[in-house]
Amino acid sequence: MSTPEDEEVKRLSEGALHGDVHAQFALGLMYETGESVAQDNSEAVKWYQKAAEHGEANAQFHLALMFVNGRGVPQNDEQSVQWFRKAAERGSASGQYWMGWMHQYGEGVAKVSILSRASWFSCSAFSTSPFWKSRNARLL
């Protein structure tokens, strides 16, 4: 007998295989956290990548984190910047913040620019998220 969690995983898997980016992202989260499935960072990366390639900003952000931390993929700052930038350009305050952070510390970027760093931090500061507003108030 299957559990409601099993049914949810089955439903999401079917949607993900048919190109549903929201289901792909949800499966990525489930595999990253081990919620209702065995935790598997490589499988999380696989599903994040599928959704990210179709423009899903949350998947782009999470994929960037996988690259920056070397979880499920070799650690790669250049790849993380690529995905943070895509997420940031789609309006992700988290992606914008991380772009500022990567510029601030010269991680994965060719040249550290104070203007670039400030620009990305200020983008995330205008987010509606109280967390990012307070975080950026200390950095700008």
What is the residue-level pLDDT of the chain in tens, covering all 140 positions?
A: 789 899 999 999 999 999 999 999 999 999 999 999 999 999 999 999 999 999 999 999 999 999 999 999 999 999 999 999 999 999 998 998 898 888 887 788 876 655 555 555 565 555 555 654 555 555 44
With respect to residue 81, please indicate whether it lies within any of the assigned structural domains: no
With respect to residue 80, please indicate whether it lies within any of the assigned structural domains: no
| Structural domains in the chain (count) | 2
The reply to whether 110 and 52 lie within a common domain is: no
* Domain encompassing residue 40: 1-74
* pLDDT on residue 137: 52
* Alpha carbons 66 and 62: distance in angstroms, whole number: 6
Instruction: Quote the Cα angle for 99-63-100, to 5°.
Output: 5
Structure tokens at 48: 């994040």
Structure tokens at 82: 């690529």
pTM of the shown model? 0.81
Type of residue found at 69: N
* pLDDT on residue 109: 80
* pLDDT on residue 47: 98
Structure tokens at 115: 């203007």
The reply to whether 63 and 10 lie within a common domain is: yes
